Amino acid sequence: MNFSDILTMRHELMLTIIALVVLIIDLNLHNRDKHFIIPITLSLFFIHTVVGFLPSQPSTLFGGMYHTTALIVLMKNILNVGVLIILLQSVTWLKKEENREKISEYFILLFSTLIGMYFMISSGDFLMFYLGLELATIPIAALAAYNHHQTKSAEAGIKLILSSALSSGILLFGISLIYGATGSIYFDSISQVYANTPMQVLAFIFFFTGMAFKISLVPFHLWTADVYEGAPINVTSYLSVISKGAAAFILIILMFTVFNTIAPVYNHILYMIAVLTMTIGNLFALRQKNMKRFLAFSSIAQAGFILLGILGGNIMGMTAVIYFVLVYIFSNLGAFGVVSAISTVTGKESMDDYDGLYSTNPKVCLLMMLALFSLAGIPPVAGFFGKFFLFASAASAGYYWLVFIAVLNATISLYYYLLVVKAMFINKNEKPLAYFKSDLATRTGLVISALGIFVLGFWSQIYEIINSLSFGVIH
């Protein structure tokens, strides 16, 4: 392994080193000094994020198991930025007394899953893909059970591990069928020979089912709400944003390269699942009162929109999906950031607690409104552009009715996002939550999300970069 190979794998290697450094520092720190880990890790991760943006060459390692392109590096960077925001948002919560002894665990587990996602996105064959996927999933279960003395958190962990074990099994069965049918596990060679025969379609269905679990598409979404509600809020935001984003990235790459030949077959499946996911996710979100469950169901609905870009089946669709995930990261983290700040300070997570919040905490409310409008796809914030491009890509393939259903769903989603806006701005409350001032880290995290929500839409450069990188992936 020479130096240029190390550069190729710099995301994975650096993060591994950071995780190990955190572990070593933790070993050498006194119990009362544990909180020093937080600033150290944050600055290390910040450096890691910046280094990720340095230019790199596309190359292949391990005989095709691992490969990077400019697009893949971009995907990893997008994830990095998201994780950075989450880390900033979790500082206040980590400093709490009850978490003092497990600070380093949080970081190490989080970084392990992130390394898994890197490998998953970079994989060149199904073996590496599966390894990455598992590495990305199992530590999250531990994270979900982070507050292990709380029943709900422990329950979330066990639910997550069981359902991902099941879905991994299904996925692995799909992969073995693919191997049986094509005699290869390499993406390149499979994509040459993949054909529309019953067995290969069946293999695809198993594979897709496994992935659908990970992205929580309906009808494989049932684990989501309970896990999201039980897990600590920052883990929830990690699950719903980073995990889902990474899975969406690899899914769209696989759909457009490996399974491209059976697109006419899978389009029917995707069509139905997209409609189901958007509609059912929305209908469930309508009735939620707990903010975490609320955002969980809304993120299920959002996953349905991603399928529209895959259905588009062209460069436009690929760009739209990546762009949408980027926008979604900022918008959802903005919303989660506010929920997290409020829940950390006051312990309140119900929508009713937000009544009249504007009279005491106007800035937080404005940010929340922006984030929710972005999630709903209202101009001029970034979510509008993200949704518009997804719809455009689906329309480019002629799915006008699907676009119509999707926009109607966006309208339904606007209803429940407005419920939160209504609670904050319109509802009267004798005793709204008192004014609180969050610390620097939380505020930085919130400001970054707000900037992203505002700037990404107007700044068309970003879309163009993603678009130019998407060329070459699809033939």
Partner 1 sequence: MNILNLFIIVPVLTVCGIMLTKDLKQSRLVSAIGMGVQLILAFVLVYLYLAERGAGNTATMLFMYDAVWFPSLNIHYALGVDGISVAMIALTGIVVFAGIFASWKMEFLPREFFISLIILATGVYGFFISIDLFTMFLFYELAVIPMYILIGIWGTGPKEYSAMKLTLMLMAGSALLLVGILGIYFFSAPAGSPLTFNIMEISKVHIPIEMQRFLFPFTFVGFGILGALFPFHTWSPDGHASAPTAVSMLHAGVLMKLGGYGAFRVAIFLMPQAAQEQAWIFLILTSISVVYGAFSAIVQTDLKYINAYSSVSHCGLVLFAILMMNQTAMNGAIIQMISHGLMTALFFALIGMIYGRTHTRLINEMGGLMKVIPFLGVVYVIAGLASLGLPGFSGFVAEMTIFVGAFQHVDVFHRVVTIVAASSIVITAVYILRVVGILLFGPIKNPHFLELTDAKWYERISTISLVLAITAIGTAPWWLSNMINYSLAPIVERISAVQVTGLF
Residues that bind partner 1 (CB under 8 A): 316, 319, 373, 378-380, 384, 388-389, 391-392, 395-396, 400, 403-404, 407-408, 410-411, 414-415, 418, 421-422, 425-426, 460, 463-464, 467-468
Using alpha carbons, select from 402, 399, 381 the residue that is nearest to residue 449. Answer: 381
Residue 359: CB minimum distance to partner 1, A: 9
Place of tokens 């969980």: 296
The kind and range of the H/E element at 84 are helix 70-94
Closest to partner 1 by CB, 157 or 281:
281
Closest to partner 1 by CB, 333 or 403:
403
Closest to partner 1 by CB, 379 or 472:
379
Closest to partner 1 by CB, 224 or 319:
319
Cα 101 to Cα 157: distance, rounded to the nearest angstrom: 19
Which two three-digit tokens encode residue 363? 């800035």
Residue 460: CB minimum distance to partner 1, A: 5
Using alpha carbons, select from 35, 43, 55 the residue that is nearest to residue 18. Answer: 43
Closest to partner 1 by CB, 73 or 419:
419
Cα 413 to Cα 279: distance, rounded to the nearest angstrom: 9
Q: What is the DSSP letter of 399?
A: -
Closest to partner 1 by CB, 23 or 418:
418
Residue 413: CB minimum distance to partner 1, A: 10
Closest to partner 1 by CB, 51 or 408:
408
Sign of CA dihedral 460, 462, 468, 473: negative
- Specify burial of residue 318 (Cβ count, 10 A radius: 0-12, 13-18, 19+): buried
Query: Is the CB of residue 269 less than 8 Å from the CB of residue 257?
Result: no
Residue 355: CB minimum distance to partner 1, A: 13
Closest to partner 1 by CB, 183 or 380:
380
Residue 372: CB minimum distance to partner 1, A: 11
Query: Is the CB of residue 255 less than 8 Å from the CB of residue 266?
Result: yes
Residue 375: CB minimum distance to partner 1, A: 13
Query: Is the CB of residue 274 less than 8 Å from the CB of residue 402?
Result: yes
Residue 475: CB minimum distance to partner 1, A: 18
Count Cβ atoms below 10 Å from residue 24 Cβ, excluding itself.
Answer: 11
Q: Collapse the DSSP code of 48 into the 3-class scheme (helix H, G, I; strand E, B; otherwise coil) and give the result.
A: helix
Q: Is the peptide bond before 380 cis (omega within 30 degrees of 0)?
A: yes
Residue 436: CB minimum distance to partner 1, A: 21
The CA–CA distances, whole Å, from 449 to 16, 327, 333, 386 equal 26, 9, 7, 15
Closest to partner 1 by CB, 14 or 370:
370
> Cβ contacts of residue 323 below 8 Å, gap of 6+?
385, 386, 389, 462, 463, 466
> Cβ contacts of residue 208 below 8 Å, gap of 6+?
174, 266, 269
Residue 425: CB minimum distance to partner 1, A: 6
